[in-house]
Amino acid sequence: MCRTDDSGAAWAWLDWRDVPEIAPPRGTRDILPPDSYAWRWLLDTHRSVVESYGYQPLDTPVMESTDLFARGVGADTDIVEKQMFTFSDRGGRSLTLRPEGTAGVVRAVLGKRLDQEMRPVRVHYAGPFFRAENPQRGRYRQFAQVGVECIGERSPALDAEIVEMAWRFFERLGITGLQLQLNTLGDRDDRARYREALVNYYTPLRDDLCDDCKRRLESNPLRLLDCKADARFAEKAPLIWDLLDAGSKEFFTTVAEMLEDADVVAHINHRIVRGLDYYTDTVFEIWHESLHGQQNSLGGGGRYDGLAEALGFPSTPGVGYALGVDRSLLVAEQLGVVPPPRPSCDALVVSVETPQARRAAAIARALRGAGLRVVLDVSDRRLDRKLRNADKLGAPLAVIIGEDEARDGTATIRDLSRRAQETVSEQAMVAVVTDALERLA
């Protein structure tokens, strides 16, 4: 039972046997060691690839005003209609846990007028995103993305740069079996023509459409192409390519040519429309053969020249991508390309009796001061148990401060793989440990 005492502490009367374990919320996961090393590998690899193209790190809040996504991503998209975690704050303002990053990044960059100091603004980010989807393998309610946005200039060279970076990132991870799907959605006028063509095509089929699509026929006909229930109609729907003007076609052709120059193999797929409303011109997705159905996309992105205006800023072009961390790691693990976790510890410092704990702590401090990763164990467990822990931590060396060492001002350094050991003076200890680690590396 859980009652509160006078001070309000809920745990004061707790009988632990009655308390059920608390699980993480549905669709969320803990990332524990050693998996956490794989995450770090992926994030570090992404940072290193995109920073080699001059992208700078940026962070935005995980919660934003709901309006940002309604206006940015589009009120008629699945994300905004069905997948947002939205709540009121204490002042009654509607907030949403970010389902994607682009709208927030554009808000942040243009809100601070960064584009007036430098054009284009090249930024990258990594972090958690939230969508209330039906959880399954590769699809979570909290998931992570790494992404880039390039804001302030319109040029096919930038679209090609973005796609190439995503490709180089997967290459660097060692992920093979990818397919790059590339399309263009044209500019605003092309979209208006396409919208009309879709309305003309779908209107005679209206009675056979699902309820969502009946509504979308009026509000946002492009979304009809995404509907799983009505996929059979999408196959014969008009293609945007046939309605593009010459300028849009030329822009896209240049993007495709520049990707060819970079040895990035693109499959032109005029059915890719993406699930977010802000795209114009280039759109792309990166699929992996091992992921099926809806979860086959490791990432996607494209150009969004109308987004800034939709958010109330002066018209500013932009292009970017986001790649799913969770899905990319699933594939990397399947392919066996995740590097083994790096041991988290260079040396374990142990003292056997409590009186030696302060000396052991000072020695650990000195070793850390020399740049080493050191775990201090002054618990009252037996020495052999402690040394077994060193194995689990991956520490190749143990520094032992027993009674003799404490008395003589020495430390015993044990090489755990060879089971050899030597006792050295405290002054020599840092140098001996550092040399031994170098020899073992």
Q: What is the pairing mode between strands 347-351 and 397-401?
A: parallel
Between 143 and 169, CB nearer to ligand HAM: 143
Contacting residues for 9 by C-beta, under 8 A, at least 6 apart: none
Q: What is the pairing mode between strands 266-268 and 178-184?
A: parallel
Residue 408 token pair: 């003589």
Among 55, 69, 78, 101, the residue binding ligand HAM under the rule CB under 6 A is 101
Among 74, 152, 300, 306, the residue binding ligand HAM under the rule CB under 6 A is 300
Identity at 228, one-letter amino acid code: K
CA–CA distance, 166 with 146 (Å, rounded to integer): 10
Map residues 263-282 to x or -, x wherever contact with ligand HAM holds by CB under 6 A: ------------xx------
Number of Cβ within a 10 Å radius of residue 402: 18
Among 98, 124, 191, 327, the residue binding ligand HAM under the rule CB under 6 A is 327
**Cis peptide upstream of residue 34 (ω within 30 degrees of 0):** yes
Of 110-118, 140-148, 213-221, 417-425, which segment contacts ligand HAM by CB under 6 A? 140-148
Instruction: Using the structure block, give the residue that is written with the tokens 């990044």.
Output: 105
Residue 57 token pair: 């790190």
- Nearest distance in Å: CB 49, ligand HAM: 16
Among 156, 221, 320, 396, the residue binding ligand HAM under the rule CB under 6 A is 320
- Nearest distance in Å: CB 12, ligand HAM: 40
Among 221, 299, 317, 402, the residue binding ligand HAM under the rule CB under 6 A is 299
Helix axes 246-261, 156-173, angle to 10 degrees: 30
Between 72 and 402, CB nearer to ligand HAM: 72
Of 116-124, 222-230, 323-331, 422-430, which segment contacts ligand HAM by CB under 6 A? 323-331
Among 29, 139, 168, 193, the residue binding ligand HAM under the rule CB under 6 A is 139
Between 100 and 346, CB nearer to ligand HAM: 100
Contact between 140 and ligand HAM per CB under 6 A: yes
The percent helix, strand, coil of the chain (3-state, each to 5) is 45, 20, 35
* Count, residues near ligand HAM per rule CB under 6 A: 26
Contact between 143 and ligand HAM per CB under 6 A: yes
Element (H, E) at 249: helix 246-261
Instruction: Using the structure block, give the residue that is written with the tokens 């054009």.
Output: 119
The CB-side HSE value for 342 (13 A sphere, CA atoms) comes to 8
Between 41 and 69, CB nearer to ligand HAM: 69
End-to-end, the C-alpha distance of the chain in Å comes to: 54
Contact between 223 and ligand HAM per CB under 6 A: no
Among 202, 252, 284, 321, the residue binding ligand HAM under the rule CB under 6 A is 321
List of residues contacting ligand HAM (CB under 6 A): 100-102, 131, 133, 139-140, 143, 145, 147, 149, 275-276, 297-302, 304, 320-322, 324, 326-327
